[in-house]
Homo-oligomer: A and B are copies of this chain.
Amino acid sequence: MHAAARFADYLSRKRLKMTRERRVILEQVLAARGHFGVDDLQEILRKAGHTVSRASLYRTLPHLVESGLVHKLEMAKGQARYEPMVGRHHHDHMVCLECGKIIEFESREIERLQDRVCRRKRFSMTGHTHQIRGYCDGCAGRRGPRAGGPDPQAHRV
């Protein structure tokens, strides 16, 4: 099913409306080819010649997430980032504490073990976040091997 149709379907099932703003947001979000924050998105929209208030972005993004078209990443300090999920399958992220780069990874095996843990604990999983912090190839080299000490536990990102 086409993304726009899928969103339209989601909206109508919830008795919500397909407004100009939602259409434009959807369009630009799907065109984005990376991870973006709310302010980034507003900038993208502005460049595309549209104005949408921050309030509307904050109101629309959860719908895109809930309809499965977009995925939300919770970064440190409550900074949320989003990424389009159309035609992609689930993956998790590594975040470089030096340059902020986000590297995607996926592991069927980890997912499988995760399911097993949930079954064992009688926990009904609806979603998960698996984020690895550290330094990417380039940054680890520049900092020198084994530098840094203990994990600053996402004081940055």
Q: A115: nearest residue on chain B (CB-CB)?
A: B132
How many identical subunits does the complex contain?
2
Residues of B within 8 A of A125 (CB): 94, 132-134
Size of A's binding interface in residues, CB under 8 A: 50
Residues of B within 8 A of A94 (CB): 118, 121, 123, 125
Given known contacts A94-B118, A123-B103, A148-B126, A65 and B133 CB-to-CB distance under 8 angstroms: no
Task: Give bound CA distance, A151 to B125, whole Å.
Answer: 9
Say whether A20 faces chain B, with CB atoms less than 8 Å apart.
no
Interface on chain A toward B: helix, strand, loop, or mixed SS?
mixed
Q: Is the CB of B151 within 8 A of A123?
A: no
Q: A62-B155, A117-B132 are in contact. List 20 more A-B contacts (CB 8 A).
A: A71-B153, A74-B77, A94-B121, A96-B123, A107-B117, A109-B113, A110-B117, A114-B132, A123-B136, A124-B135, A125-B132, A125-B133, A125-B134, A126-B148, A127-B154, A128-B131, A129-B130, A129-B131, A129-B154, A130-B131
